[in-house]
Amino acid sequence: MADEVLLKVNGLKVAYGGIQAVKGVDFEVRQGELVTLIGSNGAGKTTTMKAITGLQPINEGDIQYMGHSVRGRGAWDMVKQGLAMVPEGRGVFMRMSITENLLMGAHIRNDKAEIAVDLDKVFTIFPRLKERKDQLAGTMSGGEQQMLAMGRALMSRPRLLLLDEPSMGLSPIMVDKIFEVVREVYAQGVTMLLVEQNASRALQIADRAYVMESGIITMSGDARQMLSDPKVRAAYLGE
């Protein structure tokens, strides 16, 4: 299944506003894996994701993607290299329609016929988006906007998809739907790095997991085994 290392983070340190948010992090994601990064709010997970995608400058360390250092690369360049992120807060274009938002995800492509094929695929994954394809994104619910943000990222045909807190602020029913979609997209062969506060749900669907606390990785291993680890259960699963 997973063999080639797609993403390798070495000694990553990130500081902003005088705060050392990430204090020397090492982890990797191999081709074909779904890896989750769990931890409490403020652990440094989102900062790590922003550093990987070129949205946050790195102080020390390196990030290798497909065997090459991408330190200092901009977010635009990372998307062209096949790395897409669904950001925390979704970041959809509120005054644009659902279809226009999705097509923005394909802005780096010029293969119109294939873009149309991918648009159909996204509408198959998210039937609700198809039903409302001409609706303005700003009039949608939080869960629908999360679907739209995921669909937009898929339109770039990512080799590696980063999901930052996809279930945050959603109703239990919508959380179920989002995780169902994550499973479906993963089953189609998209490698994923998932940052999620809902540790139980993340560990249930991931292959491997890393626990992040106060800017460092404190534990790593098989996600299913971690789900039954007493320390993890006590700290993150409320047991």
Of 164, 211, 154, the C-alpha closest to 186 is: 154
Strands 5-16 and 191-196, sheet pairing: unpaired
Q: Look up the CATH number of the domain holding residue 13.
A: 3.40.50.300
| Domain span holding position 208 | 5-236
Token pair of 98, please?
Answer: 């659902």
pLDDT digits (tens, 9 = 90+) for 73-122: 877 788 888 899 998 876 899 999 999 999 999 988 889 999 999 999 99
pLDDT-derived band at 68 (thresholds 50, 70, 90) equals very high
Given the DSSP bridges, would you call strands 34-38 and 191-196 parallel, antiparallel or unpaired?
parallel
**Residue 151 pLDDT:** 95
Global pTM value: 0.92
